[in-house]
């Protein structure tokens, strides 16, 4: 997946490095948002099948919960990386973290994070470039 379409800035090496780091963090977050959301939906399906139709016995297997748990850990790391790269407020991190535990929310938050990223990146890069001068 590619980063959102934004013109690349040419404002010095510090600003360019910050922009590369932020774009990389967003790309990793975006990929993990889709993977985590998909695994959460599979986990929900497993829970419905297991407790609704199979008397508490696993249908797809116990691996679904284990895999989702580990994927969620990776997702949380990518959220923290994006959050710290973009220097967003704590509330945004909480909202993004919640995307990995509420079904369908990761897809919604990915779209919202893309808008935040597109809105905040140019100003953040410009501030870094101005400080470097």
String of DSSP letters for the chain = ------PPP-S-HHHHHHHHHHHHHHHHHHHHHHHHHHHHHHHHHHHHIIIIISTT--SS-THHHHHHHHHHHHHHHHHHHHHHHHT--HHHHHHHHHTTTSTTHHHHHHHHHHHHHHHHHHHHHHHHHHHH-
Whether 3 is covered by a domain: the verdict is: no
Whether 2 is covered by a domain: the verdict is: no
Across the chain, which has 133 residues, the per-10-residue mean pLDDT values are 53 87 97 98 96 92 96 98 96 96 97 97 89 77
Q: What is the pLDDT of residue 8?
A: 55
Whether 8 is covered by a domain: the verdict is: no
Whether 60 is covered by a domain: the verdict is: yes
What is the total count of domains within the chain? 1
Whether 33 is covered by a domain: the verdict is: yes
Whether 26 is covered by a domain: the verdict is: yes
Whether 115 is covered by a domain: the verdict is: yes
Domain that residue 40 falls in: 13-132
Write down the pTM of the prediction.
0.87
Whether 46 is covered by a domain: the verdict is: yes
């Amino acid at each position: 997946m590619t980063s959102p379409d934004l013109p690349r800035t040419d404002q010095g090496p510090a600003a360019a490095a910050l922009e590369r780091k932020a774009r990389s963090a967003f790309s990793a977050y975006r990929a993990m948002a889709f993977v985590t959301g998909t695994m959460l939906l599979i986990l929900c399906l497993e829970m419905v099948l297991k407790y609704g139709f199979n008397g508490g016995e696993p249908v797809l297997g116990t691996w679904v919960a284990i895999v989702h748990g580990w994927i969620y850990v990776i997702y949380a790391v990518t959220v923290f990386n994006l959050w710290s790269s973009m220097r967003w407020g704590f509330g945004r991190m909480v909202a993004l973290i919640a995307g990995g535990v509420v079904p369908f929310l990761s897809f919604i938050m990915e779209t919202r994070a893309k808008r935040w990223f597109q809105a905040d990146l140019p100003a953040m890069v410009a501030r870094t470039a101005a400080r470097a001068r």
